[in-house]
Amino acid sequence: MRRLLLTLLLAMACPLAAAQGTSSYPSKPIRLIFPYPAGGTGDSVMRIVAEFLGPELGTNVVVENRPGASGVVGTRFLAESPPDGYTLGLASNGTNAAVMSLVKNPGYDPVKNFTYIGTFVTLPWMLVVPTQFPAKSVSELVAYARENPGKVTISHYSSASRVLVHQLQSAGKLKLTEVPYKAPAQVINDLYGGQLQAAFFPMEVAMAQAASGKIRVIGAAADKRLPTAPQIPAIAEQLPGVSFTSWMGMGAPAGLPPDVQGKLVSALNRVVSKPEFKQRIHAVSCDVLVSTPEQMNKLIRDEMGMWASFAREANIQPE
């Protein structure tokens, strides 16, 4: 009888303890995984998000860089972490959509292994060339590449830059020599040195490098001119079909308690609605993108289909 009573008391206590645990969330610092090296636009954005999110949750939010395999290593770490709300991380169209078509075995499923919180920014891309390169516009680059098939080298170092290189060749009916890189810093050095003739960069990086006088920005990878850089022609003005925008959002491991997800969604919504947050995001050449978890799930599924089509068209085999 005593054993039965003890069992009943324990059964009653466990749900109560669980409820108390989630209602007090968060009670310690939160890790925000960024699966790329420190530095660059994405890293800056994650640190801005962490800075604003911490006060909304009443705890410290600390960015932790876990680079490797084009974002796969850190994203897999996030997927395998306990679903307690204390390990969150980046979810993007590279790590959570393109990966299924470009990587043979990433070790996670973007649909099954994550609970999504919402998106927060978009990152525009720019096409750049060295200042000593004869082409000073997209149309001149197209003409030069057609006259010199295979002699124009262009880099890619991420899923976004890879799809843009494909779009440029397809829309312009060009044959460029693609050179894969691991990091944008290496691309910049080779552009300076003349080993590369063209590259795509996030807008913040492109504009910063253009200020050096060694690189020229010749087009924005968008359908129309960007409000943040109206002086740069949209590539689609001269070459329709070259348009791509990266986005960044927040994910957690699958199995996150609904009330914890709700607290995170509410906190992130408050962050992205703040004028001062928008100012900081615009300062790194990005725009705010707001979505619900349901919208983010649909966005990821849609983009997985887009990347699958891209891989087939470009004859890319997962590596």
Residue 79's region, left for phi above 0, alpha for psi from -120 to 50, else beta, is alpha
Give me the pLDDT at residue 315, please.
85
How confident is residue 49, by pLDDT bands cut at 50, 70 and 90? very high
pLDDT one-digit tens code per residue, 195-214: 999 999 999 899 999 998 98
Give me the pLDDT at residue 182, please.
80
Give me the pLDDT at residue 52, please.
98
Q: Residue 19: is its pLDDT beyond 60?
A: no
pLDDT one-digit tens code per residue, 213-231: 989 999 999 989 988 889 9
Q: What is the separation of C-alpha 294 from the centre of its chain, rounded to a whole number of angstroms?
A: 18
Taking residues 80-102, what's their average pLDDT?
A: 95
For tokens 């894969």, the residue is 180
| The Cα angle at residue 201 between residues 196 and 204, in degrees rounded to 5 | 135
Domains of the chain as residue ranges with CATH: 29-122+246-313 (3.40.190.150), 124-238 (3.40.190.10)
Contacts 24+ apart (CB under 8 A), 135-143: 135/218, 136/216, 136/218, 137/218, 137/219, 137/233, 137/238, 138/218, 138/219, 138/233, 138/235, 138/238, 138/239, 139/238, 139/239, 141/198, 141/218, 142/172, 142/174, 142/238, 142/239
Pull the structure tokens for residue 276.
């001062």
- What whole-number distance in Å separates Cα of residue 317 and Cα of residue 190? 27
- State the average pLDDT for the chain: 90
Asked whether 262 and 48 are in contact (CB, 8 A), the reply is no
Give me the pLDDT at residue 8, please.
45
- For residue 109, give the H/E element and its range: none
Q: Residue 4: is its pLDDT beyond 60?
A: no
How confident is residue 22, by pLDDT bands cut at 50, 70 and 90? low
Rg, Å, the chain Cα set:
22
Q: Residue 6: is its pLDDT beyond 70?
A: no
pLDDT one-digit tens code per residue, 134-146: 999 999 999 999 9
